[in-house]
Amino acid sequence: MKKRGQVTLFMIIGIILVLVVALFLFVLRPEQLERDQALVDDVSSEFSPVQNFVHSCMMQTGEDAVRILGERGGYLFNDNYPLFSLLNPSLSDPSDADSFYIHQAGKIPVPYWYFMNSPNGQNTVSFSSKKPVLNSPDNEGADRTSSDLSIEAQIDRYVELMIDDCLRGYSALTEQGLEIEELIGAPITTTYVTEEDVIVNVHFPLEIKAGSSSEIIKNFGVHIPVRLKDAYQLAELITDSEANFKFLEHQLQELLTFSGDKDSPYLPPMYDFEFAFGSEGNSWVVSDVKEDVKFLLSYAQFLQVEGARNYNPILLVPSDALYDTRQRVYDNMILPFSYYYSDDELDELNLRSTDINFNYLGNEVYFYAGDGSTVEPDLFGVDFGPIQFGTLNYETFYDVSWPVLVTLNDRSAFNGEGFVFQFGLEGNMRDNGPIDSSYTPNVLSFDNGPGLCDPGLRSVNATVNVFDDNCVDECQPVPNAAVSIVVEDKTCFLGNTNASGTLNTLFPTGFLNGLVKVAKDGYLGKSASYAPDITEYTIRDFKPKKLMKFSVMKKVLKKENYAWSVFEEDLVPLEPGDEAIVTFSRVGSFEEDEFSTALSLTSEEPSQETLFVDGKYEIKILLLGPPDPAFNANYQIALRDLDEHGVSDADLDQLRIISAGEYEGGEAEAVPTIKGGVSFGFINESDPGIPVTFNKTQIKNGEEIVLYAIELKDLNISNIDDFIIVSDLDELTRQNVMAEDLIPSVR
């Protein structure tokens, strides 16, 4: 009898174990999911508020995930959910990185879906992509590991981590008398990116009790109304178009061809020549050419995709002999998708509901247009000192690498709220044309100086040592700096410094009065005098450029006893409609390259970041306001009466150029309101003016340079005295700089 009782006990225990296992299998183990399926449990009406609440949190968290990864090119990270280590952006050299910043202050990087992954300046190139995979290779979230970087798996992990912030312990439900118990430690999420939407399934068993009633809800599923797959595939199509057809490079190539000219003050031509008699031709400062090329890169905004929602071809009005050429330039900025893809293919990608925009955001670029500090033509003919005749051959080889942000906005997504998906493409031009992995450097087609670059005529073994300006204990060597020799207008590249900042190589002989020039991206170029008997050159204080923030504050100057002499006490930020146009020109030594930069600050963008280097500067600020009818009328009166008042046109050049105000044929054109400004630095040959010095310690330790501009209160431009004072900012600054401290501050 006792034995039978033991058997009965074992049977009871066994039944309990079976029930426990069955309960585990029923409650805790996820059901088998089918791709593109949303698995949702049937729930009684009594407990449907719980299901609705969890679904609303899934919708909110899932939408957050989709929007974040859309803005970041398919990578899901933010301050609370970091995955930043997957990308390696560079603020100072984005074209030598796999991603770039689109909001520099917020440090938001976007990956290149197509970029050159070999370092700039090399003779061989290779290309790569940081495009993430859309679909996970595993069907269920439970099988997806942390190494799965697909978009689906990223959404899984984000929802699992962030949904608790929305659920908040179910407090909104427990306050209504419900008891909710989570039966497993963490939710198991499975995301599917489908043709029509994004499905998020969450297996998260909950036991809900209300009085004597209870129910278990295991599976939750929602459809997020965004065609993420369409955006991804459309981005792939644009990326493939750049990889195969190089539309970014062709756009820049056309703009350089159209804009470059031997008589242009901005850009040298790729190829041109002219007959010369007693002329050295035109020349251009390389640093200025770089800035003008960066301006051309902003024309990326005119690129369009045929068939997109915002497709709107630019049609110019015939006005001059170059109309056909200019129209063709804009026509070639259209990506003709209808030529390469069928209507059905494009309809599947939701193209007609999507705005597509391209933008160059002003990031730093890789730029090379020769080893010298200037671009100059070569004279072929006779040169007898003051007498020159022959032909001037212009030949400029542009090397440029730059980032472009591509933004897709599906206006139909999220029930008409829209969805933005953006990613990066890198344009790469070498020797004036697009490049691929078969690229080899071009060689100048004209003579580059007899013997200067001829290896057979090099016989002096010399060493070049390059050190930066960080010399507290000892100066730091600068690796990978390009070393060239410059003799007259000829330049020959000799090599790059090694990890110790040293280059040992053979120098040419038989030349005098040359320079040994050192250059590196992100540094201010510097030179040393060359002589054939010198065997060691040491270049110190090779200055790195630093990213600095710039802002402008106004100091209001008012009249007292008919003279501009009293400052109001408080500094005033730029107000709505204000614009401060700022230019910096560095006053360097003979050994240093020229450096200049320009900024336009407004109340909407009161600060900007740009690379900067310590030194002595000329600084010009012109303070403008929005066009005002009264100011415009007074301005035209002043212009009309120039001769009567004895004010020369030269005194108004700056105002005319910047405001674009002209008085022609008796008709006035609206101009911005001129409110004041400052001018530090060179005035004329007999007056060096008041330059501003930023020392090395200030720039090294500082993050922001605050500039101060004089605003002339109650300025009446038709008054000749007011007109003269606003046209002579140098004198205005000279009169007030000492007493009121207009010198920029570094903090």
- Give the C-alpha separation, 677 to 17, whole Å: 86
Element (H, E) at 182: strand 179-182
- What is the average pLDDT value for the chain, to the nearest integer? 83
Residue 478 in this model has a pLDDT that exceeds 50: yes
Q: How confident is the model at residue 723 (pLDDT cuts 50, 70, 90)?
A: confident
Instruction: State the pLDDT at residue 653.
Output: 46
Residue 250 in this model has a pLDDT that exceeds 70: yes
- Which of 386-390, 488-492, 619-623 has the highest average model confidence (pLDDT)? 619-623
* Residue of 363, 356, 242 whose CA lies nearest to 303: 356
Instruction: State the pLDDT at residue 142.
Output: 93
Considering only residues 567 and 722, tell me which one the structure prediction assigns the higher pLDDT.
Answer: 567
CA-to-CA separations, 295 to 365, 402, 608, in angstroms, rounded = 12, 12, 16
* Over residues 221-244, mean pLDDT: 95
- Give the C-alpha separation, 257 to 252, whole Å: 8
Instruction: State the pLDDT at residue 660.
Output: 40
H/E/C letters for each residue in 444-512?
Answer: CCCCCCCCCCCHHHEEEEEEEEEEECCCCCCCCECCCCEEEEEECCEEEEEEECCCCCEEEEEEECCCC
Residue 725 in this model has a pLDDT that exceeds 80: no
Instruction: State the pLDDT at residue 510.
Output: 63
What does the pLDDT look like over 424-461, one tens digit per residue?
999 999 988 898 877 666 543 333 334 567 666 677 88
* Over residues 498-510, mean pLDDT: 87
- Give the C-alpha separation, 169 to 613, whole Å: 54
Count of other CB atoms within 10 angstroms of residue 271: 14
What does the pLDDT look like over 674-718, one tens digit per residue?
888 888 886 655 666 778 899 998 999 999 999 999 898 888 777
pTM of the model: 0.58
Instruction: State the pLDDT at residue 651.
Output: 47
Instruction: State the pLDDT at residue 524.
Output: 92
Instruction: State the pLDDT at residue 279.
Output: 60
Is residue 713 within 8 Å of 572, Cβ to Cβ?
A: no
Considering only residues 471 and 508, tell me which one the structure prediction assigns the higher pLDDT.
Answer: 508
Question: Which residue ranges make up each domain of the chain?
Answer: 31-87+130-224, 229-434, 455-542, 546-746
What does the pLDDT look like over 332-371, one tens digit per residue?
899 988 777 778 888 888 899 999 999 999 999 999 998 8
- Which of 190-194, 606-610, 641-645 has the highest average model confidence (pLDDT)? 190-194
| The CATH number of domain 455-542, selected from 3.40.50.920, 1.20.1340.10, 2.60.40.1120, 2.40.110.10 | 2.60.40.1120
Instruction: State the pLDDT at residue 629.
Output: 77
Instruction: State the pLDDT at residue 486.
Output: 81
Q: Which residue do the tokens 């330059």 mark? A: 691
Instruction: State the pLDDT at residue 513.
Output: 63
Residue 194 in this model has a pLDDT that exceeds 70: yes
Helices (H) and strands (E) in the chain, counts: 17, 38
Instruction: State the pLDDT at residue 385.
Output: 37
What does the pLDDT look like over 279-293, one tens digit per residue?
677 899 999 999 999
